[in-house]
Amino acid sequence: MESTSGKYEGLGMEIDSRDDYITIVTPMEGTPAYRKGLKSGDKITKINGQSTLDMTTADAAKLMRGPAGTSVNLIIKREGIANELDFEVERAVIELKSVNFYGVIEGTDIGYIRLSRFAEETSHELRDAIVELNGKGINSLIFDLRSNGGGLLQQAVETAELFIEEGKLVVYTRGKFAESERRLYSQRKPLFPDKPLVVLVNEGSASASEIVSGAIQDWDRGIIMGYPTYGKGLVQQVFPIGSDNDVALKLTTAKYYIPSGRCIQKPENQNKDGHGDKIAQTDSTPVDSLKISDKEIYYTNSGRVVYGGGGILPDVELEHEDIYKPIELALERRGVFFDFAVKKFAANPDMTVDLE
């Protein structure tokens, strides 16, 4: 799978369905789509002769993916050009980076790493990034897990062990029966063991992101900042049904728990019993679907109070700001800003991206 293997065979671009046709949102730098000169805003009207009118992005992706070295024909309608363009693009192995960016914040000794997924090469990419940042003399680090929906469990463990001591519990799974419990520990010395660490999370941080941020929080290794996370902590197995494997049964067999004993999964019934102590009623402000007064108390390694109820509650919770007005949100959903940018750059080819 693309999200966990970190690679796939295809053209290398993000697509969307706009105005009844498949539209290129952005070609990834260094990929066949980028080298052939495909641009943001290009409308793909045909793929190998098949019209994309009312086609879903999933169906379009299937048509464009295939063995590396083979070709796919795209008919493109580009803003500002009357005639359609014909592209023959050779497929290649597309490498998807987990670490989208890392560097030192200008004028400081603070490092920053942005991680978008937990795929097969995630821990290797992170190790390379941390080694380089350490070499540049950083004294603190911002680790950005916002909108990271997770991925491979083993990569979550290997990521956590970059920051917490060797031999520490990272996560465990618990099913219906006690003997099914499985515990995973950090097995290497950390590369960034004791300097200040801030982990950024939001509502899109899920699964492996919650394992990592939860372990860091429970071992008091760093500060979690942002918004309450998604609460996705189910261990599921997929069982093919039928001879052609087109249908499968997804069965939940266990749940993920972090070192303090908190379950990552947000319960469907918020009144279910947990494994923590019930909190006395207070007048606390709610931070998500449950008020603090309804949550269970757990404790970090140093005895600091943290709360259960699913997901990870940040140590420093930010207030949501209404950055956009309703009319601006409506325009964004309709793709008006994207369409304007496409037309503006088509009409002004010498314009640079840093325009004001």
Enumerate the active-site residues: 207, 218, 232
Query: CA triplet 303, 309, 315: central angle to 5 degrees?
Result: 50
**Complete DSSP assignment for 10-25:** E--EEEEEETTEEEEE
Taking CA atoms, 321 is separated from 113, 227, 256, 324, 325, in Å, by 24, 12, 32, 9, 11
3-state helix, strand, coil split of the chain in percent (to 5) is 20, 30, 50
Place of tokens 């795209």: 74
Q: Are 44 and 21 in contact (CB under 8 A)?
A: yes
CA distance 220 to 199: 12
Q: Which residues, 6 or more positions from 300, have their beta carbon under 8 angstroms from its beta carbon? A: 217, 218, 219, 220, 260, 306
Backbone angles phi, psi at 54, to 5 degrees: 65, 15
